[in-house]
Structure 1
Amino acid sequence: MNGPSLALRQRSLGDPSAEFPLFPPLTRGCPKTSTAELAYPVEVDYDYAKVDRTLFEQQPGPDIARWSPLLPPLDAPTLGEGGTPLIEFGDVYIKDESRNPTWSHKDRLNRVTVSAAVACGAPGVVVASSGNHGASAAAYAARAGLPAIVLTGDAPPAVQEFVRSYGAKVVSVPVDKRWPLLRQVVDELGYHPVSNQTVTHTGHPFGPEGYKTIAYELFLQLGTVPAAVFSPTGYAELLYGVWKGFAELRLLGVTDRTPRMFSCETAAGGPHAKALAAGLPAAIVEIGPTDAYGVACPVGGHRGVVAVRDSGGEAVLVTDEDLRKAQRDLARAGLWQELSGAAGLAGRRRLRRDFDGPVVCIATSSGFKDVGVGGERYDVLTDPTLDDLLP
């Protein structure tokens, strides 16, 4: 541990002058600036003047509590999240988040959000998720001794078994029923929500704070600030968290610049691309057919708009074909990623632009979680020859 949390308050992204106490977490967005059509998230503000700059001289490793002064209070035990490798891949670096305890970036978020549930004395946690988020929330809830309810839709069978293995109550419901049911669980049972409840995405206000630690690690692993970061983007909590981490490094005087942030969304939807193109704070879109279910989000949020806009980045739309090629190429280099998890590399390739400095593509989760994985059966060779063994 590197000292207690220096978190002070919650602050609206819609109007920074709108401030609220640190607890309870405002899981339904800013009550002052949000409307029926647009919900603004809140973020956590810190006593930055008290941050010891030697915090950024340590080597990255598992357990994000090493960054505790710049995180909300961590009252839930760790599973060893963070400290993921940075791997050279051609002319880019891959930040491989599949190396986290439940094999996705969501572990960083859930260490923080389940900690909030513990701090609030909640009887359990509830999440609406078809994949990584549900599995991670179930694991961290189990570690903290809390029951978890996971409301899912058409998650792959292997992923559903993964979630159930942690003892979570997994219920498959139609997509349009998930969030009303989640709100009912929160209001009537008192469970702590770790996913979105609002018309445009706000999610849990503490969630992106866990993702900031990726920025801290990248700075230490590279020895500099990357020129650009390409992130798979669904609701943009990851994108915003990484951006905020680099903005804090600059605010603290540890660095003198920040990277350009690129949201990499499926071309079948792309709410942040739509919002940025139209100059809107957030947007909602129709989702077309895609196998990239992890980033196929019809609802965008203001966080993604802020990260791209304020960093001078762009929104990049990628097709399933782009994603499959990136996924194949990563796997051939020993990095098996979920289709959605390859969106960062696919977006970098789609943009085709040179940068003056290192470029990082975040890879978010294991290929084990893809649709159809584990369904194929292979022939047993009863009398194999050497020719059968050759690639």
Structure 2
Amino acid sequence: MNGPSLALRQRSLGDPSAEFPLFPPLTRGCPKTSTDEIAYPLEVAYDYARVDRGLFTQEPGTDIARWSPLLPPLEAPTLGEGGTPLLPFEDVFIKDESRNPTWSHKDRLNRVVVSAAVASGAPGVVVASSGNHGASAAAYAARAGLPAIVLTSADSPPAVQDFVRAYGAKVVSVPPEARWPLLREIVDRLGYHPVSNQTVTHTGHPFGPEGYKTMAYELFVQLGRVPAAVFAPTGYAELLFGMWKGFVELQLLGLAERAPRMFSCETASGGPHARALATGAPAAIVELGPSDAYGISGTVGGHRGVLAVRDSGGEAVLVTDEEMRRAQRDLARQGMWQELSGLAGVAGYRRLRRDFDGPVVCVATSSGFKDLGVGTERYPVLENPTLADVMS
């Protein structure tokens, strides 16, 4: 069913008439539309007239290459990403992305961006990340036979740092303000392919959100229709935008009448996309307060999330750590243990409690093993256990 990539070119999200060849990926934003204050991301355009609609009659399964006509060229080997379950919970469905190879949604992105590194002939990849992105990039680079450098912060969870090192990556803990200059130097002087952001507002890798489109395709097949609304944990909003683009493509192909409303769910301690949407700005930078949801806590937003929420008729929702903790406890009691950040979508839906004219999907992005403090608590040993101890 799958076939060669139908990707044609890159184009600016600031001005779609600004187009560029598919390669090399423009990882520092659009050179024509960006300014010193706002960096506009790029997206990938496809030859939709040649897409076989039969692509969407297949069952969802692992390896996103099943959707290869609507992805950039996949030159890196698969680790079995995608095909994650859709599970009922209360009155919504949970798309459980913790079932991916490195236990997070980032595997969909990294299959695509590491493929770009391979296709570009890069000697390695470099990423600035304190969590899921670094682990996933290291795994896919290892699978593709490329060295990886991961620039992380000293306060990232020790278990996650061990996780990244297990794949053979060079992991360097640096102060947050030093990560981006060092990343750019590695790119410029060593020729490594960057798979994370380098710009003043977030642009990231132009191919990255294309991997997340596959979640929209899977949901369409799993539900037999597009959902009415999607609530997604939102850091840089690549996930939110990628899913929204996938649903829009289903419209373009005549397979769906509409795209769902997209809800960005950010930590209340920051919320750059909520700020941009409230002020009408293309992107925003905010001050950041304390939060244990380190996976989505950030000062910098990007234009992708603004587009997805605004053009879908959705909303930005700010959630507290306690709201995410409640969602974490409740899902765990149903057999789904998620990272605190990964429950922002469920917390956002519960905060709004809207009625929608169709199914609602909350994306749960990552395993609870990735949280701060996991594995550090010691539990007492009962020297003379009795049945009463078990039953208490």
- Normalised TM-score (structure 2): 0.99
**2:44 equivalent to 1:44:** yes
Distance 1:178 1:46 in 2: 34
Which residues in structure 2 correspond to 1:292-371 (within 5 Å)? 292-371=293-372
How far the C-alpha of 1:388 sits from its partner, in A, is 1.7
Distance 2:388 2:331 in 1: 27
Which residues in structure 2 correspond to 1:192-271 (within 5 Å)? 192-271=193-272
1:74-118 Cα distance to aligned partner (Å, 9 max, x none): 000000000000000010000000000000000000000000000
1:95-153 Cα distance to aligned partner (Å, 9 max, x none): 00000000000000000000000000000000000000000000000000000000000
How far the C-alpha of 1:382 sits from its partner, in A, is 1.9
1:301-348 Cα distance to aligned partner (Å, 9 max, x none): 000000000000000000001010011001011000000000000000
How far the C-alpha of 1:380 sits from its partner, in A, is 1.5
**Match of residue 98 from structure 2:** 98
* Stretch moving more, 225-234 or 376-385: 376-385
Structure 1: 5+ residue runs without aligned partners?
A: none
**Match of residue 111 from structure 1:** 111
How far the C-alpha of 1:387 sits from its partner, in A, is 1.9
**2:385 equivalent to 1:380:** no
**Match of residue 14 from structure 2:** 14
Distance 1:213 1:5 in 2: 14
SS state of the match for residue 198, structure 1?
coil
How far the C-alpha of 1:257 sits from its partner, in A, is 0.9
Which residues in structure 2 correspond to 1:46-195 (within 5 Å)? 46-153=46-153, 154-195=155-196
**Match of residue 282 from structure 1:** 283
How far the C-alpha of 1:381 sits from its partner, in A, is 1.5
Distance 2:380 2:31 in 1: 59
Distance 2:389 2:40 in 1: 59
Distance 1:344 1:191 in 2: 34
Distance 1:124 1:74 in 2: 16
SS state of the match for residue 9, structure 1?
strand
For 1:351, give the aligned amino acid: L
How far the C-alpha of 1:46 sits from its partner, in A, is 0.2
Distance 1:134 1:387 in 2: 46
SS state of the match for residue 205, structure 1?
coil
For 1:174, give the aligned amino acid: P
Distance 1:387 1:54 in 2: 60
Distance 2:387 2:289 in 1: 46
For 1:135, give the aligned amino acid: A
**Match of residue 34 from structure 2:** 34
SS state of the match for residue 383, structure 1?
coil
Distance 2:121 2:261 in 1: 39
Distance 1:389 1:287 in 2: 44
Distance 2:130 2:368 in 1: 15
1:192-224 Cα distance to aligned partner (Å, 9 max, x none): 000000000000000000000000000000011
Aligned length: 391
Identical amino acids, percent of aligned pairs: 83
Q: Pairwise CA RMSD of aligned residues?
A: 0.6
How far the C-alpha of 1:283 sits from its partner, in A, is 0.1
SS state of the match for residue 72, structure 1?
coil
1:21-55 Cα distance to aligned partner (Å, 9 max, x none): 00000000000000111100000000000000000
- Normalised TM-score (structure 1): 0.99
Structure 2: 5+ residue runs without aligned partners?
A: none
Distance 1:6 1:390 in 2: 60
Distance 2:52 2:344 in 1: 35
SS state of the match for residue 134, structure 2?
helix
Distance 2:8 2:387 in 1: 66
1:274-301 Cα distance to aligned partner (Å, 9 max, x none): 0000000000001100000000011000
How far the C-alpha of 1:390 sits from its partner, in A, is 2.6
Distance 2:261 2:121 in 1: 39
**Match of residue 2 from structure 1:** 2
Distance 2:326 2:28 in 1: 38
For 1:382, give the aligned amino acid: E
Distance 1:73 1:7 in 2: 8
SS state of the match for residue 180, structure 1?
helix
Distance 1:386 1:313 in 2: 53
Distance 2:231 2:387 in 1: 43
For 2:233, give the aligned amino acid: P
